[in-house]
Amino acid sequence: MRLFVLLVGALLLLIPQTGPVKAAAPAAYVALGDSLAAGQTPNRAIDLGYADMIAMELRRHVPIAFYSKDLSYPGLTSGQVLERVRSDEARPVLEQSTLITVSAGANDLLGLVRYNPRAGTLAYDRIPADYALNGVRKNVAAILDELAERAPRATVYVMGYYFPYPHAREEMKPGLRKELGRLNAILKQEAEAAGAVFVPVEEAFAAEGSQLLPNPADVHPSLEGYRRMANAFFENSPYGLTVQPWEVPPPNPVSFEEMNRRMQEADGRSADAGDETPTRIAVDEQLQGIHAIYFNPSELPEGVFSYEARNVDDLR
C-alpha cells in the first residue's frame, strides 16, 4: 500500500500557543482514513484538511507532542484503513497516540455510485450497497477493536459524512441520501459500542452543500467545508475550541503529481524512475510543502519515542 505523506507540520509549529484551555498532558494526534482525513481538495490536490485544522487549533491552546496523518490516503476503503491500522508502520505511532480521528466507510459506498455531473443524475444498485454497508460495519468494528489494543491511551473519534452530491438533481438525491444516513448510523452505532465518540458533520453541510463542495464533479469540500468538519469535532470533544475563518491560511494545494515527485526525490530516485512509491517515511528537506508529521520532543511525555529534529522552513 502506498505511503501518503503530506506537509502541514511546519505551519503548525509556527503558530504560537495562546495558553492552554485547561491543564492537560501533551496531545499526540493521529488522523486515520480516507481522502477527507488526508485533506484532498475539490480539484485533485492536497491542502489543509479537517485533521490539519484540528491540530492547528490544538497547537494554539494545548501542548502538542506530535501530529501525524501518514496513515491517511485518498481512496482508502474501510477494509484498507483496517489494513493500515494493522501495519507495522502504524504500531509505534498508535502506541503513543492520545487522540485519534477516523474517516472510513464512504469509499465503500461511493464506489458503487454512478454519477453524471453534467446531467445531475445519480444511480446505484441496492443489493451491492447493502453488502458494502455490512462490510463497513464489520471493518469499522475491527478498526476500533484494533485501536483499543494498539492505542490504549487514545480517545477515538469516528467522523461522520456529509451528502457528497449537492449538485445532483433534487429528484435524484433521496435514495442515496438514505444510504448515507444508513452509513452514518452504522458509524455512530459502532463508535458508541466501542466507547469511541461519533462526530456528525451532515448538518454542517446541509444548507450550503453546493458552496462547500464547489466542484460538481468532485465530492471533496473547500477549506471552509473542512473548517466546519474540524469544528464539528470540537463540538463533540472536551476542548471547547473553535476554528475561526480568519485562522485558516489561504489555499496552497499540492498536486498528486508534485507530491509523488517530491517523495521520489526524497527517496533518492528521480521523478521519472517509474510508478513505484517509496515505502518509508522520508523526513527530508525535499519534502517541504507536503510533510504532515511534526514533533516537539521537549513536550513528549516520559517514555514516548522521539524523532531526530529536522529543519523545516515556513510552509506558507
* Position 248 in a domain: yes
* Position 1 in a domain: no
* Position 308 in a domain: no
pLDDT higher than threshold 70 for residue 117: yes
Mean pLDDT of 278-298: 34
* Position 312 in a domain: no
In three state form, how does the secondary structure of the chain look? CCCCCCECHHHHHHCCCCCCCCCCCCEEEEEEECHHHHCECCCCEECCCHHHHHHHHHHHHCCEEEEECCCECCCCCHHHHHHHHCCCCHHHHHHHCCEEEEECCHHHHHCCCEEECCCCEEECCHHHHHHHHHHHHHHHHHHHHHHHHHCCCCEEEEECCCCCCCCCCHHHHHHHHHHHHHHHHHHHHHHHHCCCEEECCHHHHHCCHHHHCCCCCCCCCCHHHHHHHHHHHHHCCCCCCCCCHHHCCCCCCEEHHHHHHHHHHHCCCCCCCCCCCCCCCCCCHHHCCCECCEECHHHCCCCCCCCCCCCCCCCC
pLDDT in tens, 53-87: 999 999 999 888 999 999 999 999 999 999 999 99
pLDDT in tens, 240-260: 999 999 999 999 999 888 877
CATH of the domain at 263: 3.40.50.1110
pLDDT higher than threshold 50 for residue 131: yes
Domain enclosing residue 255, as ranges: 9-299
* Position 311 in a domain: no
pLDDT higher than threshold 60 for residue 175: yes
* Position 253 in a domain: yes
Domain count, the chain: 1
* Position 41 in a domain: yes
